[in-house]
Structure 1
Amino acid sequence: MNCIEKQTCERPAYPLAKHSIRRQLSFAVGAAALFLAPTSAHAAGTVAGTDIVNVAQATFDGPPGDPPVTIDSNIVTIKVDELLDVTVVSSDPGDVATSPGSTAQVTTYQVTNTGNGSEAFTLSADTAKPGDEFDTTFEQIILDTNGNGVYDPGVDTIYTPGTNDPVLAPDESITVFILSTIPASANDGDRAEIELAAVANTGSGTPGDIFAGQGDGGGDAVVGSTGANDEDSGFFVVQTAEITLVKSATIVDPFGGATAVPGSVIFYQLVATTTGTGNLANLAITDDIPADTTYNAETITLEGAPLSDSASDADAGSFDGSSIAVALGTVPGGQTRTITFQVTID
């Protein structure tokens, strides 16, 4: 007997039975579940638009000698609604070092669709957050086209709201860059906050708000725990360094005194002092040999250690016939370097 897709089933009388057997069953929707369609697990759960299908079954004994009878309930189908959720996280490991007047300075973010449906997101930048020491000038939002996580000028795509809003599948992320100009007035140690926000194009609001019929896959769209609107900030820190250079001279004359006569030796000392939180790159100190004096060969020192006059060897010193030079490389702020050399008055 076939009672499939009927909510009740009546068994007819059998000739050998002492009396007719009549049994009737009623089923509440969802009393037991038989899933006919597989689902996929994601961070936000089952993918929007998935049909959850279930059928209940009942089995009872037939007349003696007959096999058990099984009947199915009606099929109940529920379409999974879209959950609207997004997260924004700064990708910078710390404050991004910069300097006054710099352009195209980059802060980096990760935007992730934590909902369960494909969704487009509108992006916006705020470079005038209260509470920091200075505001940058917003230049552009850039989408990481090649997915390498690094801003590549001319390769990555300039973002225009409403034109190329990123469309992300469930659990998909995209790297986003904000480009800023640092004001020339920014001071050493000053910080600036740069915020990126993302909001679901379908809608946002209070968790649980419903946008009827607007969900991915044909169901409703429901605002998730993030409000379908999230933001996070990166920070710039200005790092500058300055240098002062002080030169002094000590004289030793041929008689053991300190007169400046022919034959007297002049001991020059150069003290370079850096200040600030930044670095001075490729710092080099040079000094011309004064007229009416002769450089005393191989007398250059750095921090008391002798340097050679040759420009072709590995150390930092050199003499080109008219001036001495010492290449100090990159020197952080807050340090000093002391150089000495000698000349003889002609």
Structure 2
Amino acid sequence: MTRPHSVPRLTRRAPIHRRLARVSVIFWLLLAGAPALAAGTPAGTDIENIASATFDGPGGPVTIDSNTVIIKVDELLDVTVVRTDPGDVITNPGKTGNVQSFRITNTGNGDEAFNITVNTANGGDDFDPTLQQIAIDSNNNNVYDAGVDSVYVAGSNDPVISPDQSRTVFVITSTPSGIANGARANVSLTATAVTGSGAAGTAFVGQGQGGGNAVVGSSGAVAVANGFLAVQSTSLTLVKSASIADPFGGQRPVPGAIVTYRLVATVSGTGTLNNLKINDPIPSGSNYQTGSMTLQTSAAAAVSLTDAADSDAGIFNGTRVTVAAGNVTAGETRTVTFRVVIQ
């Protein structure tokens, strides 16, 4: 008996268009479930590919596969830095503990440690503050907490940041004595990838996450941001207190009790604090008592304010009271009172 003709080392499979359709569906399902990264595929990922060919054999379509080609994705080193303070950070001559905030974002595709440096002696500004320390936001609340946030020591606790993630860093400085009112200081923070930096395209062989190379991205793997301190010889303190009168002649905070809030703004130092405004939101669980706002200056009796947006200094907008206290000279106070009823 004559055996059917056979082709060595070939396998008969489903038609190629069906196989490609299945592969396409799987690929798009995987793509849809993958996180979107600023720098694309995570470093160390193996991209595998197998080609195939098909032809008509004696018994039907025959498909053969090529060898597998594996490409390991290199780590891209990229970073951005921005200041997160909304404007200049106000300081006074001789003040210590100025806090400026910056955010470092890893825009690369691998976990990367970043070295942090601060320059307080930038040219073109009015004075050079003294660097006290750099701190890393340990509890991720974006607020400097002394004794909680970690003091940064270069080379010891360089922050490791995952792709597309950020860390807030605080720069703590002191202001020299004798600095003139209105003077500004430029404080810059620089973050540099620990793996390496340089011209875009520079490669560090075998030093990327997952065993591949590390390649410098468009940022040069280094970024800098500037923040400013501004000296203001006048300073402001705002103290709030509350007194309670309940319906039974006592001072208990029960429903129906009236709470009188008292806000005392005190300006100290030298000079004048311009355009002072005092704001206070009405607390949840209480209702503002109509027509209860007053404003008192240092040398005058309290004046009643209307709730409407009119010619006087007060306004109640439905959720908070705002009093425009104007320009206040150092040594003076402005006192605001208003009442709410506990629901």
Assess same fold via TM > 0.5.
yes
> Which residue of 42, 52, 72 corresponds with 1:47?
42
Residue of structure 2 equivalent to 1:285: none
* Residue 46 of structure 2 corresponds to residue 58 of structure 1: no
Higher helix share: 2
Q: Is the alpha carbon distance of 1:277 and 1:304 closer, same or farther for their aligned partners in structure 2, counting shifts above 3 Å?
A: closer
Residue of structure 2 equivalent to 1:110: 103
Aligned residues: 242
> Which residue of 130, 134, 139 corresponds with 2:127?
134
Q: Is the 8 A contact 2:272 2:330 kept in 1?
A: no
Residue of structure 2 equivalent to 1:275: 271
SS in 2 for 1:68: strand
CA-atom RMSD in angstroms: 3.6
Write out aligned runs for 1:198-277 (5 A).
Answer: 198-241=191-234, 275-277=271-273
Residue of structure 1 equivalent to 2:79: 86
Residue of structure 2 equivalent to 1:192: 185
Q: Is the 8 A contact 1:188 1:276 kept in 2?
A: no
SS in 2 for 1:204: coil
Q: Is the 8 A contact 2:112 2:160 kept in 1?
A: yes
Question: How far did residue 334 of structure 1 move?
Answer: 6.2
Q: Is the 8 A contact 1:239 1:278 kept in 2?
A: no
SS in 2 for 1:53: strand
Q: Is the alpha carbon distance of 1:155 and 1:121 closer, same or farther for their aligned partners in structure 2, counting shifts above 3 Å?
A: same
Question: How far did residue 67 of structure 1 move?
Answer: 2.6
Question: How far did residue 227 of structure 1 move?
Answer: 0.4
User: 1:5-52, CA deviations, whole angstroms, 9 ceiling, x for partnerless residues?
Assistant: xxxxxxxxx8688xx999x9xxxxxxx996898574311110000000
**Structure-2 separation of matches of 1:100 and 1:48:** 49
Q: Is the 8 A contact 1:105 1:179 kept in 2?
A: yes
Residue of structure 1 equivalent to 2:253: none
**Structure-2 separation of matches of 1:109 and 1:303:** 39
Q: Is the alpha carbon distance of 1:307 and 1:171 closer, same or farther for their aligned partners in structure 2, counting shifts above 3 Å?
A: closer
Structure 1, unaligned runs of 5 or more = 1-13, 25-31, 243-273, 281-300, 309-329, 338-346
Report the TM-score when normalising by structure 1: 0.62
Q: Is the alpha carbon distance of 1:276 and 1:162 closer, same or farther for their aligned partners in structure 2, counting shifts above 3 Å?
A: same
Report the TM-score when normalising by structure 2: 0.63
SS in 2 for 1:55: strand
Q: Is the alpha carbon distance of 1:235 and 1:302 closer, same or farther for their aligned partners in structure 2, counting shifts above 3 Å?
A: closer
The amino acid across from 1:229 in the alignment is V
Q: Is the alpha carbon distance of 1:331 and 1:96 closer, same or farther for their aligned partners in structure 2, counting shifts above 3 Å?
A: same
Question: How far did residue 241 of structure 1 move?
Answer: 3.0
User: 1:158-189, CA deviations, whole angstroms, 9 ceiling, x for partnerless residues?
Assistant: 00001111011111210000000011121111
User: 1:298-338, CA deviations, whole angstroms, 9 ceiling, x for partnerless residues?
Assistant: xxx96996569xxxxxxxxxxxxxxxxxxxxx87456998x
Question: How far did residue 277 of structure 1 move?
Answer: 4.8
**Structure-1 separation of matches of 2:127 and 2:274:** 18
Q: Is the 8 A contact 1:48 1:116 kept in 2?
A: yes
